[in-house]
Structure 1
Amino acid sequence: MRKRKLIDLARPSRQHWLGYILLAPAVILVAAIIAYPLLISIDISFQDVKLPRMGAARKPFTLENYQDLFSSPEFWHTCWVTLKLVVVVTTACLAVGLATALLVNNRFRGRRIARLAVALPWAVPEVIATVIFAWIFDSSFGLMGWLFIKLGLANQMVAWFSDTTAAFWVVATTMVWKGYPFVSIMCLAGLQSIPEDFYNAAKVDGASALQRLRWITIPSLMPVLGVTMVLVVLWVFRDFSIIKVLTDGGPLKATQTLSIMTYNEAFGFFKFGYASAVGVITLLLCVIASMAMLGRGSKAMY
C-alpha cells in the first residue's frame, strides 16, 4: 500500500505534490524561526509595551509608536547616519573588492597566498576585528595616531572617538576592512566563469586592458555585482557589533544606526513597542532598497 502511494507520487502528473511534501519541513522550520518572530514584532510595534511577558494580556492597538517615531528628530538623524554609512561602505567595499579580485585573478608567483591574504579579514570574527581597530585608533597609544604624527599630519595624538566626523570614518573604515573580502570572493568566482576566449578575441581586435575591463569584465560580472551589492547593503543595515564595540553610537549619536537605536530603545529604555516600530521601519527600508537594486541590476543586464 505504501509502495503504491510512492509510485503514484512519482508519476509526472503528481510530481509537484512530491516537491511540496519534500519542501514542507524546510518551509515549516523557516516559518517557525523567521516568520513567527517577525509577526510578533509587528504586533508589538502597534502596542505600548514596556517589557513583554509570556502570557500577558494584549494591550490596545495604537499608532502612537509610529507617530512618535516619525516626529522624532533623533530617528531622522539616525536614518541619515545609516544612509551615509550604507553608501560609503558599500561603494568602498565594491571598489576595493573588485580591484583585489582583478589582482589575484592574474597568474603570478604566490597567487594562492595572495588570495588567502585577501580572504583573511572575512574569517576574523567581527568583535575581534573591532577590538583590533579600537587599538589602532586609540587616542593615547594607537598606531594610526602615531603614523599621523610621523607623517606630519598631526602635532599630537588624534582623539578619533571624541570627534563626530572622525568617529564616523573610523566605523566606516572598520566595516570596509571587514566587508571587502566578501566582495573579492564573489567577484573572483565571477571572473573565473568568464570564458578566456572573450579576452583572446578582444586582444586580437586590438582592445586595451581598460577596454576589455569596460566591455567584457564589467558586463559579465553585473549579475554577481548586483547580488553582492544587495548582500553588502543588507549587512551594513543590520550590522551591530562593530558600531557597538567601537563607539556605541557616539559621540553625540554621530554613529548611531537603526540597529543601534533599536537596541538602545529596547534594552536601554525598555520601550519594546517603540523599538519594534524602529525594527519594522528598518525591515521595510531593507526590502525597498533590495527591490530597487535588483530591479536596476536586471535592467542593466538587458
Structure 2
Amino acid sequence: MSTKQASKMGTAELNKLSAAGRWHVLNTVASAKAGHIGGPLSAMDLLVSLYFNELTLNPQQPQDPTRDRFILSKGHCAIGLYAVLAMRGYFPLDELATFDQGGSRLQGHPDMKLTPGVDSSSGSLGQGLSAGAGMAIAAKRLGAEFHTWVMLGDGELEEGMVWEAVHTARRFQLDNLTAIIDLNGLQQYGWPVKEEGDRFDRSNPWAGVDLEKVFAGFGWNVVAVDGHNFDEIQAAFHQVRAGRGSGRPTVILATTTKGKGVSFTQGTYKWHNGVATPEQLAIAAAELGQTFEGEAK
C-alpha cells in the first residue's frame, strides 16, 4: 500500500472525529492522572483536518520517505496528536490507555524514536519550526515533493528561536513549509492582567499585535482562519498547495478557543492542564456525544 493523500471528508464526518478526539484527550488524561487539556482541545479540529483531509501519508508505512512531515512544536499537547494518530490507524486506540506511563510509546511529549507517525521529538518550546525548516531545505536539495507542516502555540511565539526560523525560511524560499499557529489566546503562565482585546480570562499573549502584518513583513504568505471552521481550514490548505513554486513559506493563523468543545474547559487558562473528575467526564461525554461508563479508561 503506497503513501497517498487522505481522502476528503465532509464537515459532518470531521465533526464526529473531532468530538471523539476531544473525548480521548479528556478520558486519557483522567486515566493517567496528569496531562494537558486546553491546548489539545483547541488544536483538535486542525489536527483532524490535517490527518484526515490533507497530509500525504500511510499509517502502515510511517517511515515512507515520500510522506508529508508534521511537527507538533507545542509538544506538551502530545495527547491531542496521539488521539488523532490512533484514530488514523497508526496504533490501536486501546494504546492511549498507556499514555505517560513507563515503557509506553506515548510519552508526555512526542518521541520520534518511540511513536509511529511522529516525525520530530518536541517538548522544549520554540524549536519545531527550525526543525521543520531543516526538513524543508532537505526536501528542496533532494528534489523531494513532500511538504512539511509545523504547529505552534501562540504563547510559544514568544521564543526568539521561532523568529530566527521565520526569517530563515523566507531566505531559503521554503514554499514547501507551512506553519500553523494555534491562536487560542491563553497560556499557562505569562501576562496575568487582562487588557483590551483579550478574549478570555487571562491576557492574550499577542493582544494588540497584528501578526498578519508581522509575518507578511518577513515575506510569508499569510492565511487567517477560524481554527474550528472546517471549510475555512480546507480553503487554507488549498492556498498552501497553490503557493508551491512561489518561493514563500505559508503561515496559517488559526483563531481558536482553548479547551474547545467542553463547557467547563473552554476559555480558561486553569484547564491548560488538569484531571477531570468522574462527574466532569460524564458532562463531557454527554456534550461530545460519547459513551462514559463511570470511570476513565
Structure whose alpha-carbon radius of gyration is higher: 1
Query: Relative contact order (C-alpha < 8 Å, sep 6+): which is higher?
Result: 1
TM-score range, shorter chain: under 0.3
Please state which structure has a larger fraction of its residues in helix.
Answer: 1
- What's the TM-score, normalizing by structure 1? 0.26
Please state which structure has a larger fraction of its residues in strand.
Answer: 2
- What's the TM-score, normalizing by structure 2? 0.26
